Chains A and B, each alone.
Chain A
Amino acid sequence: MGKILLAVGTTATIVQKSGSSPVTITTLKSIGGNTESMSMADVSGLADATLVKAPARLDPGTVQFTCYLDDVASASNQFQTIKGYQTSRTAVTIAVTLPGSIVDNFLSWTGYISETSTPELIAGDDALTYTFTLAQSSY
């Protein structure tokens, strides 16, 4: 009988691809799912009555992360660090540790920060959050 997993208890780290120590992503609220998609090339011949397709290129996809905006000075704010990775085109690896028995780094993505968004400001009960997107790439 298989066991299930819940996301609660999940942690994640970020490290520059060029080498440094992994740093825990703090105030993490959620991680979006990633979809890897294989584009299919049409290799049908003129005589084929049915489309014939062959796998072409794999798009490793993107992963979106949502964090609460941490109330610390701008200079040491995680949001600024992530923005820095984006503007400096720094390749990073983000690895997830799930709460169960699955080995660490079972979910791990390498690429570039392609998008960052500032918090939406509403007079309500929701804490400020921001999102950033990692576009997977081996470049």
Chain B
Amino acid sequence: MSLLAKIVRDLLVADTNYSTNLPGGITPETYPQGGVMPYAVYQGVDLQGNYFLDGTLAYSTERITVTVVALTRASCQTISQWIRQIILANATQKTLSGFTVFSLRFEDQGDQAESFADATDDQARSTTIDIIGNYKET
């Protein structure tokens, strides 16, 4: 499991607006069928180690993608802004989820729409958000 994703997930879950903004919760990679919207899924995209010459790990740089899914674009926008504010509030060095996190960055955001393949013709709006973090694992 992506360590950065765990850190970000912990931040979102700990926020007082979590249950309001994401009643369907946030889960790794896929969402259970029949769940409540809006919801979010996350997955690790890239993990790079930065090493000392002696071979020990100095710190890690990781990118994750969080996908927010809702029935309306406005709802997606509200949730992505909520996530952005949480990331901005934790942008500089802090101890999060027990790890030293040197930086968190809200990097990219993109909007998509797709029809559910369940014969209802409902359309889901989604927003993908890339978050980059630098942290020390121990």
Residues of chain A having any CB pair with chain B under 8 Å: 7-12, 27-31, 68, 99, 125, 127
B residues at A contact (CB < 8 Å): 50-55, 58-59, 61, 102-103, 132, 134
Q: Could you say which of B55, B58, B103, B134 contacts A8, with CB atoms under 8 Å apart? A: B55
Contact pick for A125, options B51, B54, B55, B134, CB 8 Å = B134
Residues of B within 8 A of A10 (CB): 53-54
Most buried by A among B52, B55, B102, B134: B52
- B19 → A minimal CB distance (Å): 33
Jot down 8 A-B pairs with beta carbons below 8 A, ordered by A. Answer: A8-B53, A9-B54, A10-B53, A28-B52, A28-B53, A28-B54, A125-B134, A127-B58
Query: How far, in angstroms, from A27 to B56 measured CA to CA in the complex?
Result: 10
B63: nearest residue on chain A (CB-CB)? A125
Residue on B with the closest CB to A96?
Answer: B53
CB <8 Å contact, B53 and A30: yes
